[in-house]
Chains A and B, each alone.
Chain A
Amino acid sequence: MLTIKNLTVAYDETPVFANLDVTFQAGKITGIIGPNGAGKSTLIKAVLGLIKTQQGTVAYNDQTMKQVQKQVAYVEQRKDLDLTFPINVFDLVETGTYGRLGLFRSPGAKERAETEQALAQVALSDFKRRQIGNLSGGQLQRVFVARAIVQQAEIIILDEPFVGIDLQSETAIMAILQQWRDQGKTIIVVHHDLNKVSRYFDDLVVMNHGVIDYGPTSAVYNPANIGQAFSADLSAVLFTEKTGVGE
């Protein structure tokens, strides 16, 4: 269980959120939703130790995040990366082994076999020699998920993994998240598409400069919470049509 207590993060003295408390359960896929600028990415960066926090703690089963650093996999937003970099699919996925190899050790036969296996799991074995800039958005996202597979992490954090990808890739990625869930891992997904919330997530965190509510999706995903987060009454769009399309 990943527990965040009393967390405050500010950029240039402007707080993004203050005294935030939230818990992410193991064996669940938890979605984080909220409008742009709500602090979703900031929250996961704080969990990952990528930004300074003003106060509060983040703990995984009573251990600090520093202690479990190598147990965390992060699938970041693809737009932040240079896709012209001279690296192919196989080599990128193999970088998932770097954390546990440590300094001065290079990937060997075992790591290469794990890489092959992860590529097969995301159905990209045929693309392993392809430079990453020559992939579609969905294929590239599957490559990063394959890297997370290779990391063999207990906590997997994904930042907007379904943006700009094809349905086939989205379905494949969701299937892997569900496998991880069934293995008892903690999965956290920053997400923007409200239509798929009920279908994709066991638990939900609704944010807007702080946590509005969190818990089982069936309890948290309601017009009041969503209306408060997005400062608009979205019930006509989201909650009435849902029954009509058989969600």
Chain B
Amino acid sequence: MNSLIDFINALGKYDFLQSALITAIMVGVMSGVIGSFIILRGMSLMGDAISHAVLPGVAVAYMFGFNILIGASLFGILAALLIGFVASHSKIKTDTSIGVVFSAFYALGFILISMAESSTNLHHILFGNILAVSDSDIMTTAVVLGIVILFVSFFYKELLITSFDATYAQTYGLKVQILHYALMLVLTLVTVSALQTVGIILVVAMLITPAATAFLWTDKLTTMLFLAGGIGVLSSITGLYFSYTFNWASGPAIVLVAAGLFLISFLLSPKQAFLRHRVKKTAPAPQAASVETLATNEGGDR
């Protein structure tokens, strides 16, 4: 309890901690929302790939002194295009194509960073350093959050239908591929913002884990988006608290909190209800219900 009061006092006292908290909240929201679409489209591996493939873009931006969002976006989109091109122009399946392309980009990023900067910077990129965010980082993150909110608001129904039933969307003339690459572009922007908080290695966790947790609690997409954003924020704030209090690295602390929330949901959520099912399995079998009772309970002609 004392440590929580210390943390709150420190928040009032230290600018760097306030900046960290604001950034963590923004990253929590955007990664939860975009991550929801990533998992619903069965693209978790793609999310992982893009988040790693931006590394050379980050390195090039450092080397030439331009905004890392631009460098990362270029390489993120290039990776997405290349993955699609290799998969559609060969017998190789998409997951294999992802493996080949993203590891090559990641390796290139390592070499470029080692050529350009000290190992300290590399460490920050890989593992994040939320306690060192600058004002310009906060501004960049705010801009990306704005882009995410506008993108999802304006294209909500298109994102919904292409995530659920892309074939149907194609039949009425929706440009499914353009929307896919737009989503990949937004994903790269979110990835770069999340670099500050959790680092490149764990970005995928912020994209996937809060969204997967939200998925276990609801059957409605809008609710899932809000829940995923909320869980992202809760993970970020709690992780930051652990990071400050126990001197843990901020990225892993945030990701572990998110994983903890997922575990709780896995055990207790109504959709998954792992514990309830286990208890039912071990309990003695109830007397068989009549067909009529079953039909009434199901409320339909199932």
Check: B64 CB closer than 8 A to any chain A CB: no
Check: B215 CB closer than 8 A to any chain A CB: yes
Q: How many A-B residue pairs have CB under 8 A?
A: 89
Given A76-B168, A86-B215, A88-B220, are A139 and B161 neighbors across the interface (CB < 8 Å)?
Answer: no
Select A87's contact among B160, B168, B171, beta carbons within 8 Å: B160
How many residues on the B side are at the interface (Cβ–Cβ under 8 A)? Answer: 31
Residues of B within 8 A of A99 (CB): 172-174
Check: B40 CB closer than 8 A to any chain A CB: yes
CB of B219 within 8 A of CB of A131, answer yes
CB of B173 within 8 A of CB of A86, answer no
CB of A135 within 8 A of CB of B302, answer yes
Docked Cα-Cα span, A138 to B302, in Å, equals 8
CB of A69 within 8 A of CB of B301, answer no
CB nearest neighbor in B for A72 = B171
Per-residue contact bits, chain A 72-86, to B (CB 8 Å; 1 contact, 0 not): 101010001110011
Residues 83-108 (chain A) with a chain B CB within 8 angstroms: 85-88, 91-92, 95, 98-99, 101, 103-104, 106-107
Minimum CB–CB distance for A43 against chain B, Å: 15
Docked Cα-Cα span, A70 to B302, in Å, equals 33
Docked Cα-Cα span, A127 to B300, in Å, equals 8
CB of A70 within 8 A of CB of B173, answer yes
Residues 193-225 (chain B) with a chain A CB within 8 angstroms: 215, 218-221, 223-224
CB of B40 within 8 A of CB of A48, answer no
CB of B302 within 8 A of CB of A85, answer no
Minimum CB–CB distance for B123 against chain A, Å: 38
Per-residue contact bits, chain B 96-116, to A (CB 8 Å; 1 contact, 0 not): 000000000000000000000
Residues of A within 8 A of B13 (CB): none
Given A86-B224, A106-B157, are A95 and B301 neighbors across the interface (CB < 8 Å)?
Answer: no
Check: B154 CB closer than 8 A to any chain A CB: yes
Docked Cα-Cα span, A113 to B300, in Å, equals 23
Docked Cα-Cα span, A163 to B29, in Å, equals 42
Select B157's contact among A49, A88, A98, A126, beta carbons within 8 Å: A98
Check: A195 CB closer than 8 A to any chain B CB: no
Residues of A within 8 A of B42 (CB): 82
CB nearest neighbor in A for B42 = A82
Of A91, A131, A138, A151, which is in contact with the most chain B CB atoms at under 10 Å from its CB? A91
CB nearest neighbor in B for A80 = B167
For chain A, give the interface size range. Answer: 35 or more
CB of A74 within 8 A of CB of B171, answer yes
CB of A136 within 8 A of CB of B300, answer yes
CB nearest neighbor in A for B170 = A50
Given A70-B173, A88-B220, A127-B300, are A82 and B164 neighbors across the interface (CB < 8 Å)?
Answer: yes
CB of B165 within 8 A of CB of A95, answer yes
CB nearest neighbor in B for A105 = B157
Minimum CB–CB distance for A40 against chain B, Å: 16
Check: A233 CB closer than 8 A to any chain B CB: no
Given A87-B160, A98-B172, are A136 and B220 neighbors across the interface (CB < 8 Å)?
Answer: no
Check: A168 CB closer than 8 A to any chain B CB: yes
CB of B171 within 8 A of CB of A50, answer yes
CB of B157 within 8 A of CB of A69, answer no
CB nearest neighbor in A for B167 = A76
CB of A48 within 8 A of CB of B171, answer yes
Minimum CB–CB distance for B115 against chain A, Å: 43
Per-residue contact bits, chain A 124-136, to B (CB 8 Å; 1 contact, 0 not): 0011000100011
Check: B163 CB closer than 8 A to any chain A CB: yes
Select B301's contact among A101, A139, A151, beta carbons within 8 Å: A139
Select A85's contact among B40, B155, B157, B172, beta carbons within 8 Å: B40
Of A72, A87, A106, which is in contact with the most chain B CB atoms at under 10 Å from its CB? A87
Minimum CB–CB distance for B84 against chain A, Å: 16
CB of B219 within 8 A of CB of A166, answer no
Residues of B within 8 A of A98 (CB): 157-158, 161, 169, 172, 174
Residues of A within 8 A of B158 (CB): 98, 103
CB of B173 within 8 A of CB of A139, answer no
Residues of A within 8 A of B40 (CB): 82, 85-86
CB of B300 within 8 A of CB of A86, answer no
Docked Cα-Cα span, A101 to B40, in Å, equals 24
Residues of A within 8 A of B173 (CB): 66, 69-70, 99
Minimum CB–CB distance for B34 against chain A, Å: 16
Minimum CB–CB distance for B278 against chain A, Å: 21
Docked Cα-Cα span, A92 to B42, in Å, equals 19
Minimum CB–CB distance for B140 against chain A, Å: 27
| 11 residue pairs from A and B, CB less than 8 Å apart | A48-B171, A50-B167, A69-B172, A86-B219, A88-B220, A95-B165, A106-B157, A107-B157, A136-B301, A139-B300, A169-B301
The 8 closest A-B pairs by CB, nearest first: A99-B172, A131-B219, A136-B302, A69-B173, A74-B171, A85-B164, A86-B221, A86-B219
- Other than the given A106-B156, A131-B219, A169-B301, 7 more pairs (CB < 8 A) read A50-B167, A82-B40, A87-B219, A127-B300, A135-B302, A136-B301, A151-B172
